[in-house]
Chains A and B, each alone.
Chain A
Amino acid sequence: MVSDRLAIETVDLWKRYDGIDALRGLDLQVPTGSICGFLGRNGAGKTTTIKVLLGMAKATRGVARLLGAPAVDAEVRRRVGFVSDEKDLYDYMTVDEIIAFTRPFFPKWRTDLEQKYRQKFELPGPRDIKDLSRGTRTKLALLLALCRSADLLILDEPTAGLDPAMAEDVLQALVGHVASEEMTVFFSSHQIAEVDQIADHIAIVDRGRMVVAGALDDLRDRFQRVQLVFADAAPEVRFHAPGVVRVTRDGRVLTVLTREREPLMTEAKALLPASIEVSPVTLKEIFLESVRTED
């Protein structure tokens, strides 16, 4: 069932390259209006997912939809902005030329934003793209994506290869843009801090499968660290409560990372610990534990 509340939806999405499954039944849902950070280890399937969503690679099976339309529909890309991880553009064009080239494809092109970002990013109009630094190319690629008046912005590692100052510039521009325009942003990243900074939704993919997804606040509420301190050595115990991600035992302390606190608490209290302490976990911990459990 496809919902218009979803800007991106994949159902049981599979992609096989040369006998290797890059995506293995990926179920992804990105709500309209959200800023969704797409996390995963190298080779987890992030770029493949983005390529399938944009029709650059064909799904082996399953459903992929953008803004309610099939991902292979070229017309839907009129409503989508995209910045690839390499940010490679046409080397034989100048900055002015590539902007003039891109503009006619998008009837709702925002010339006001074009002027704004040309100045803000200090883009040298007559300069050849091949002579631009990686940072300036990233800014140009971002301008070409933002001025489309897109309903959905897809960014593949937008700050990859940038120095921290340049990465911050790009993120600030992105946050500023999203604050003033109604749009959905879906971006992949290795930088958990940067995802934490701007995302309100998270999707963590590992080995081609979705392992964690949801609103970041919900995830922070759900994921908790429960520490049980015993008078003597902590017992070796196997929890049956749903949502237990990881259990570690260290002397008198048993630490449990869980996605669902309440069922665990009942089971934990039955062990009669001296004390029980519940503390929040960071996004980095959620990420690391989520991908580690798949090992």
Chain B
Amino acid sequence: MLWHKAWRETRGRFITGLLILTVLSAAKVYEYVVAQRMMPMAESVLSGAEKTPLGDAIRDAIAVQREFRGFIWYNSFRDNLTQLGVLFAVLLGCGGLLAEAKKGSALFTLSLPVTRKQLLGARVGIGLAQCFALAMVPPLVIPLLAPVVGQSFSIIDALVHGLCLFFVGALFFSLASFLSTMFGDIWRPMLIAIVIACGAVAVQLVLPELGLFRLMSGETYFRTGALPWMGFLATAVLASALLYSAAETLERRDF
């Protein structure tokens, strides 16, 4: 029943996220046709341009997007699904017992014969399952719709990119869950988690090898075909540490 409760509390956010990410993912498949029509124009504009770092980046972006796989990676996995994926993972992690205390129903919950760890466990379990669905369903729409625009997209690629989205999404979900054991509203955990996400972008600009969003977009896999095992391991360890801290913080709380 705790699972049911956790589901009821988060299903609105989850379904909204799933719809938005899936529609955006599908839209990018159709956008490829339009983008290909504009590609020669973009190339001609850049052909006479000077060689600058910015120009090189734009040339690389155009080169990557000539093919369907690259276009999808650049626009979906590297852009929409990464940014909105983090946002919805944070939203799913916000809330819980402290937010309930603010509404007044926490005392009823705490009078049930369950431990706080069980309460948190159910919420984390449902939240991670929702993060998994948010990470997997939108990428899997791409191989399904690709034939409609005369293209193909490997299901394996979709699954690997889904995994990359999931691991980093789960890390931000865990961060929001931890922050939610410290603050009674959903706004402060959400804002702090988003500020930390912006900090991660800044770190990535200076130290690309530590880039969370590079890992989330599956760039290594896209460019080399290698799975980012170390990245998966590091995010899993960090997420576990955050969830453990959340459980310990919750255990010590007075209601």
Contacts and interface: CB of A to CB of B under 8 A. Distances in A.
Interface in B95-119: 103-105, 107-108, 110-115, 118
B8 A92 contact: yes
Contacts of B111: 54, 56, 77, 80, 82, 84
Nearest to A106: B113
A195 B254 CA distance: 28
Interface residues of B, number: 20
Contact of B1 (A58, A78, A105): A105
A105 B112 contact: yes
B9 interface: yes
B108 A84 contact: yes
Contacts of B13: none
B51 interface: no
B101 to A, nearest CB: 9
B246 to A, nearest CB: 17
B255 interface: yes
B127 to A, nearest CB: 17
Interface residues of A, number: 29
Contacts of B112: 77, 102, 105
B4 interface: yes
A82 B111 CA distance: 7
Contacts of B252: 58
Nearest to B112: A105
A91 B254 contact: no
Contacts of B105: 88-91
A55 B109 CA distance: 12
B241 to A, nearest CB: 24
Interface in A62-111: 74-78, 80, 82, 84, 86, 88-93, 101-102, 104-106
A116 B183 CA distance: 41
Nearest to B115: A74
A74 B113 contact: yes
Contact of B104 (A76, A86, A92, A93): A86
A59 B252 CA distance: 11
Nearest to B110: A56
B103 A101 contact: no
A57 B254 CA distance: 4
Nearest to A47: B107
B254 A75 contact: no
Interface string A179-202: 000000000000000000000000
B66 interface: no
A138 to B, nearest CB: 12
A105 B112 CA distance: 7
A169 B108 CA distance: 22
Contact of B107 (A86, A93, A101): A86
A17 B108 CA distance: 22
Contact of B108 (A55, A76, A78, A141): A141
Interface in B6-47: 8-9
A141 B108 CA distance: 9
Given A17-B254, A51-B254, A57-B255, A105 B107 contact: no
A13 B105 CA distance: 26
B255 A56 contact: yes
Nearest to B252: A58
Contacts of A105: 1, 112-114
Contact of B5 (A80, A101, A144): A101
A84 B103 contact: no
Nearest to B11: A92
A77 B113 contact: yes
A76 B111 CA distance: 10
Contacts of B4: 101
Given A51-B107, A56-B111, A56-B254, 5 more contacts: A57-B254, A77-B112, A91-B105, A102-B112, A105-B112
24 contacts: A51-B254, A54-B111, A56-B255, A57-B255, A58-B254, A74-B113, A75-B113, A77-B113, A78-B113, A82-B111, A84-B108, A84-B111, A89-B105, A90-B8, A90-B105, A91-B103, A91-B105, A93-B8, A101-B1, A101-B4, A104-B1, A105-B112, A106-B113, A141-B108
Interface of B: 1, 4-5, 8-9, 103-105, 107-108, 110-115, 118, 252, 254-255
